[in-house]
Amino acid sequence: MSTAPEPTAPEATAADSAAVPGSATPRTVAFIGLGVMGGPMAANLVRHGHRVIGFNRSRPAVDRLVAAGGEAAAGVADAVREAEIVFTMLPDSPDVESVVLGADGVLAQARPGTRVIDMSTIRPDVARRLAEAGAERGIPVLDAPVSGGEAGAKEGVLSVMVGGTPEDFAAVRPVLAALGTTIVHVGPAGSGQTVKAANQLITAGNLQMLAEALVFLEAHEVDTASALEVIGGGLAGSTILARKGAAMRERNFQPGFRAELHHKDLGIVQSAARDARLVLPLTALVAQLIAALNARGEGHLDHSALVTLVETFSGRRQP
């Protein structure tokens, strides 16, 4: 006599996975670099069921990860020793090279077969060099920079652009699902960093135009809250406007992404453009504006502080 089948374990697991992406396959991961972006990203990996061993040069960031359920490592070697996947989220190319290629670095200490995912924003040529060094040791290295800022990192809705082999991308994608909602394989090693450079170019341009529009509206005594609301609902609407508009109106430059980091990123864009013999005039202009912000000693502010330059140029703010 037949009976109605009971719900199977795979169905229950699928439901759980839909609610918490990536939680169906817990992994042991190391996370090196627990700053503004890396800290919340590591915490999201913990929330999705992964064992996360974290290391950062400053101890308070490690303590925050431990409070979120992660584990503390005494150094890079300690962090990566048991890891199946190693994440790095560091400020610049030299930092990543030191951590990954150093004598006590990731490639020297990780087990063969461990996958390394660098989520920093660095030069594409450096990303390719790291991948080549990893291949020599049987350790695949993917470049997977992100976009979405601190808010996206906290909410787990980052856009992740991944360079590496299709096989390595497929292997790590379930884990990346804890960090972002748009996760795309964009090509071989270095491609993720090339796409991120283009992303930073577009972001800087949008920020500058939003800054100019805001000062324009203020000069004509228009209610800027209402103006940005209606602009945001039309063709000119953007994530930049939605996430930066209100803070820019209020001149609140608490850093979600520091101007000094965007200055570094636009340097990457210009270097890669020169290598390809490209002429990018608007990129050069906005790069100079970001550079000016840094030269004024305001690189620690959010990149939306570009609006202060527009005010200064327009005689509406003292230098």
Residue 179, C-beta contacts closer than 8 angstroms, at least 6 positions apart: 41, 44, 45, 146, 153, 156, 158, 160
Question: In which band, very low, low, confident or very high, does the pLDDT at 115 lie, cut at 50, 70 and 90?
Answer: very high
Query: Is the Cβ–Cβ distance between 143 and 116 less than 8 Å?
Result: no
Catalytically annotated residue among 154, 196, 244, 264: 196
pLDDT in tens, 84-110: 999 999 999 999 999 999 999 999 999
Instruction: Answer whether residue 23 shows pLDDT above 70.
Output: no
112-135 average pLDDT score: 97
Q: How many CB atoms lie within 10 A of CB 64?
A: 17
pLDDT in tens, 72-87: 999 999 999 999 999 9
Q: For position 18, what pLDDT does the model report?
A: 36
pLDDT in tens, 149-174: 899 999 999 999 999 999 999 999 99
Q: What is the mean pLDDT of the chain?
A: 92
pLDDT in tens, 299-319: 999 999 999 999 999 999 877
247-251 average pLDDT score: 97
Instruction: Answer whether residue 16 shows pLDDT above 70.
Output: no
291-301 average pLDDT score: 96
Question: In which band, very low, low, confident or very high, does the pLDDT at 25 lie, cut at 50, 70 and 90?
Answer: confident
CA atoms within 13 A on the CB side of 276: 12
Task: For each of the domains in the chain, give its residue range(s) and CATH number, in order of start.
Answer: 23-187 (3.40.50.720), 195-313 (1.10.1040.10)
pLDDT in tens, 179-190: 999 999 999 999
Question: In which band, very low, low, confident or very high, does the pLDDT at 8 lie, cut at 50, 70 and 90?
Answer: very low
> Does residue 196 carry a catalytic annotation?
yes
Q: For position 110, what pLDDT does the model report?
A: 97
Q: Which of 94, 92, 133 is nearest to 116 (CA)?
A: 133
Q: How many CB atoms lie within 10 A of CB 311?
A: 19
Instruction: Answer whether residue 284 shows pLDDT above 70.
Output: yes
Query: Is the Cβ–Cβ distance between 30 and 86 less than 8 Å?
Result: yes
**Share of residues in the chain with pLDDT > 70 (%):** 92
The C-alpha atoms of residue 35 and residue 43 are separated, in whole angstroms, by 12
